[in-house]
Amino acid sequence: MRLATLKNNTAIAITKKGIIPLNKIDFFGSIKDLIRIGEKKWKEISNNINHAEDGISINKEEFAAPINDPSKIIGIGLNYSDHANETKMALPKSPIVFAKFNNSINGPVDPIIIPTGITNQVDYEVELGVVIGKTAKNVSKENALDYVFGYTILNDVSARDIQFSESQWVKGKSLDTFCPMGPVIVSWDEIQDPVNLEIGCKVNDVIMQQGNTKDMIFGVAELISKLSQIFTLAPGDIIATGTPSGVQYGKENPNYLKDGDIVTSWIKGIGEMINPVVEV
């Protein structure tokens, strides 16, 4: 199942029949509400979606981030060895964890806004986003994928000058609009191997990042297990699993994002986001 949220807060399912607003099958909550109702009720709703009348047509500009109020956005740093190498940082022995605040959440076609008085080193980082489906605490690696609701695309936009001005990364990662997400959440049953997905990012017409999630140092199951040993993962939480090589930070002559750029992020099997860059 492919699920999304429109800018008017309507939750939708994207099916072979077209787009089905969930309020047409008498579900009036958000995608996060849908996640929290539990597997039994979810199967009932899924069945109702499959038997719904023909869908409607929606312009892609109407799509918002599928979830705008997770209790946590958990970032994982340096989770691809080639990315660690290009930034001249040591390979992590355990996951490097940081947070992005909810104010950074942005839609899959909405502008990335750069406040030029604060930063002039804004970088892109396409990532696989893991959406937690049920409360996870002290779960084993073997059972970890049972706690996944689905997967989405996320771009961990980063103000490098702010990020590396201190030891904590959260400020440089949490500027408004610095977390484009979407365009859909693809349920776990449609992506049974999250560590074998082609992933990439281009700026304007130039491919900057092109990799595969199989190259992650810590895979999805291991991340969920390790994180759940430290803190409880809640339904709707999002784990940004790290980015492959090709970012601007670490280049001899970096070409950071600027006004007028178009950032396209994609993951095969999920879709793509297209975000323009606007300087203010």
d(CA 53, CA 88): 54
d(CA 221, CA 225): 6
pLDDT in tens, 234-254: 999 999 999 999 999 989 999
* Residues near 228 by beta carbon (within 8 Å), at least 6 away in sequence: 136, 137, 138, 139, 144, 147
Q: What does the pLDDT read at residue 262? A: 98
Strand 238-240 versus strand 73-77 pairing type: parallel
Q: What does the pLDDT read at residue 53? A: 77
* Residues near 217 by beta carbon (within 8 Å), at least 6 away in sequence: 78, 79, 80, 81, 84, 91, 92, 242
pLDDT in tens, 24-83: 888 989 999 999 987 777 788 888 888 887 788 888 999 999 999 999 999 999 999 888
Q: What does the pLDDT read at residue 39? A: 75
Q: What does the pLDDT read at residue 32? A: 95
Q: What does the pLDDT read at residue 247? A: 96
Q: What are the structural domains, with CATH classification, of the chain?
A: 2-62 (no CATH), 67-279 (3.90.850.10)
Residue 274: alpha-carbon gap to chain centroid = 14
* List of the chain residues with pLDDT < 50: none
Q: What does the pLDDT read at residue 49? A: 85
Residues in a beta bridge with 58: none
Q: What does the pLDDT read at residue 48? A: 86
Q: What does the pLDDT read at residue 196? A: 95
